[in-house]
């Protein structure tokens, strides 16, 4: 059986760990009115709270731990449609981004 040299395996492991860390950090949940805004990767989804619960039950894990393809597949299996974004939702996302940037700059 062929095995990659130790140095290459360490790099691959580190790359996977970094990717997971970035994905976890970018998956966020914001409550706006009666809806939930899920920001996964570079995409935002607006769902009702009951829809988020259905998606989490279908996938077996919280939406914050899902990748974008996993979230889309779970939404499809659960029969959940995303809601249309409003200007209030967009302002909430922008405020969350500014807050995250401020926290990142303080580190």
What is the domain partition of the chain in residue ranges?
27-106
**Are the C-beta atoms of 74 and 59 separated by less than 8 Å?**
yes
pLDDT of 21 reads: 40
Q: Could you tell me the pLDDT band of residue 85, with boundaries at 50, 70 and 90? A: confident
User: In the sheet where 43-48 sits, what is the strand order?
Assistant: 28-32, 35-40, 43-48
Q: How confident is the model over 1-48, as pLDDT tens digits?
A: 555 454 444 444 444 443 444 444 457 777 777 788 888 877 888 999
Report the 10 Å Cβ neighbour count for 34.
8
pTM, to two decimals: 0.64
The total number of residues shown for the chain amounts to: 107
Q: Quick one: 53 exposed, middle or buried, by C-beta within 10 A (0-12, 13-18, 19+)?
A: middle
């Amino acid at each position: 059986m062929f095995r990659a040299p130790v140095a290459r395996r360490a790099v691959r492991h580190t790359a996977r760990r970094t990717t997971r860390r970035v994905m976890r950090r970018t998956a966020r949940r914001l409550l706006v009115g009666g809806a939930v805004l899920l920001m996964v990767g570079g995409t935002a989804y607006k769902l009702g709270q009951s829809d988020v619960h259905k998606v989490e039950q279908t996938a077996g894990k919280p939406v914050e731990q899902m990748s974008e393809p996993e979230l889309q597949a779970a939404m499809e299996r659960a029969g959940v449609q995303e809601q249309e974004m409003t200007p209030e939702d967009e302002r909430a996302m922008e405020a969350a981004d500014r807050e995250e940037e401020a926290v990142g700059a303080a580190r």
